[in-house]
Amino acid sequence: MLKSMTGFGRSEKQNGAFSCKAEVRSVNSRFIEISARLPKYLSCVELPLKNLVKSRCARGSFDVFITIEKQNGVQDMEIRPNLELAAQYHSAFRAIQDQLGLTGSIDIASLLSIRDIVKAEPLEFDEEKQTMVLEAVDAALEELIRMRLEEGKSLYDDLENRINQIEQWTQKIESRQPEIIRAYRDKLNEKLKALGEGLDLDETRLAQETAILADKSDISEELIRLKSHLAQFRDLIRVGEPVGRKLEFLTQEINRETNTIGSKSIDLEVSQQVIEIKSILEKIREQLANIE
């Protein structure tokens, strides 16, 4: 089944005192592009994270957002006392008190007012946190892929309908060909009669001219290739793998055959039918821009 390249997924995983929130968003892109927005201390997980996305999706532009929190809600940081520095300050305060004969107590408020006694430091990264991050991203990707599949169903229905329309116009063009040659022969006959009233017409020459035109305007090969491309297109949208690039190529080939049919046509009705096909192809191209 077709997949859209537009999707969104969110997940949260817990591991002991920590929880990881992951969000993954994707939009259309010709190739696969991944931007991971992580805390600095998680930089070592960026490569396995990108490899995980590539293993699940073939095309699209992805933004991955990761945050890790402790259960107390402090994001990406741990609050730690600098006991060694506090002990040094406390020892210095006692020395001042003893040397100068000062009275009073050295309380905790005095120590906490000193810079760097309590510090907010980045969380320490370990293998368990990496596993938690990748599990959260994988679960978010699962949700994103479900969304891409759901939109892919709508894209499939639309493309199926448009291919049906092109096939109908193709059949009309094909059925029109014998009538075009007969009409040309009749018009040529009328012109010759008008130009040479009272003269006998050379039926052999008339047949030759008609045959020459029939050969120049023969589109049977183009119609065969066009119908083959349409059948391939229909087969591709039914397979369960990324086919966006292949569909883009086939659409170019369908357009190429359609243009050739239009350039060979001497019939106004066929020209109008070619315009209808090209209009449908333009809408198909718009849809293909968002197919994985």
Q: Domain for residue 49, yes or no?
A: yes
Q: What is the mean pLDDT of residues 140-153?
A: 96
Helix (H, G, I), strand (E, B) or coil at 250: helix
- Whether 111 and 41 share a structural domain: no
- Is residue 63 scored above 90 in pLDDT? yes
Tokens matching residue 223: 């119609």
Q: Are residues 132 and 142 in the same domain?
A: yes
pLDDT average, residue stretch 110-116: 79
Domain housing 26: 7-75+125-148
- Whether residue 82 sits in one domain with residue 36: no
Is 114 found in the same domain as 129?
no
> 61 with 137, same domain?
yes
Who wins on pLDDT, 258 or 91?
Answer: 258
For residue 27, list its beta bridge partners: 61
Query: Does residue 230 register a pLDDT over 60?
Result: yes
Both tokens assigned to 289: 């821009």
Q: Is position 31 within any domain?
A: yes
Total of domains in the chain = 2
Per-residue pLDDT reduced to its tens digit, 115-136: 778 876 666 667 888 899 999 9
Give me 146's structure tokens.
Answer: 């479900």
Residue 156 domain flag: no
Model confidence, pTM = 0.70
28 contacts 58 by C-beta, under 8 angstroms: no
Residue 260 tokens, joined = 């050739």
133 with 71, same domain? Answer: yes
Same domain, 91 and 34: no
Question: What CATH number has the domain bearing residue 50?
Answer: 3.30.230.10
With bands split at pLDDT 50, 70 and 90, how would you rate the model's confidence at 205?
A: low
Structure token digits, residue 194: 């008008």
Predicted local distance difference test score (pLDDT) of residue 75: 54
Q: What gap in Å lies between CA 128 and CA 112, rounded to an integer?
A: 33
- 22: in domain: yes
Residue 94 in domain:
yes
Kindly state whether residues 30 and 109 are assigned to the same domain.
no
Distance between CA atoms of residues 262 and 183, nearest Å? 18
Confidence of residue 65 (pLDDT cuts 50, 70, 90): very high
Residue 161's alpha-carbon distances to 175, 187, 284, in angstroms, are 21, 38, 10
